Chains A and B, each alone.
Chain A
Amino acid sequence: SQKIEQNSEALNIQEGKTATLTCNYTNYSPAYLQWYRQDPGRGPVFLLLIRENEKEKRKERLKVTFDTTLKQSLFHITASQPADSATYLCALGDTGNQFYFGTGTSLTVIP
Chain B
Amino acid sequence: GAVVSQHPSWVICKSGTSVKIECRSLDFQATTMFWYRQFPKQSLMLMATSNEGSKATYEQGVEKDKFLINHASLTLSTLTVTSAHPEDSSFYICSAVGLWPTEAFFGQGTRLTVV
Contacts and interface: CB of A to CB of B under 8 A. Distances in A.
Interface size range on B against A? 20 to 34
Interface size range on A against B? 20 to 34
Contacts of A46: 1, 103-105
A51 B60 CA distance: 27
Contacts of A91: 104
A66 interface: no
Contacts, number: 60
Contact of A44 (B44, B97, B100, B111): B44
B32 interface: yes
Interface string B5-22: 010000000000000000
Interface of A: 1, 31-32, 34, 36, 41-46, 49, 51, 89, 91, 93, 95-104
19 contacts: A1-B60, A36-B106, A41-B111, A43-B4, A43-B107, A44-B106, A46-B1, A49-B102, A89-B43, A95-B100, A97-B100, A97-B101, A99-B34, A99-B46, A99-B104, A100-B46, A101-B44, A104-B42, A104-B43
Given A44-B104, A97-B97, A103-B43, 16 more contacts: A1-B60, A34-B104, A36-B106, A41-B109, A41-B111, A42-B108, A42-B109, A44-B95, A45-B106, A51-B101, A89-B44, A95-B100, A99-B34, A99-B46, A103-B42, A104-B42
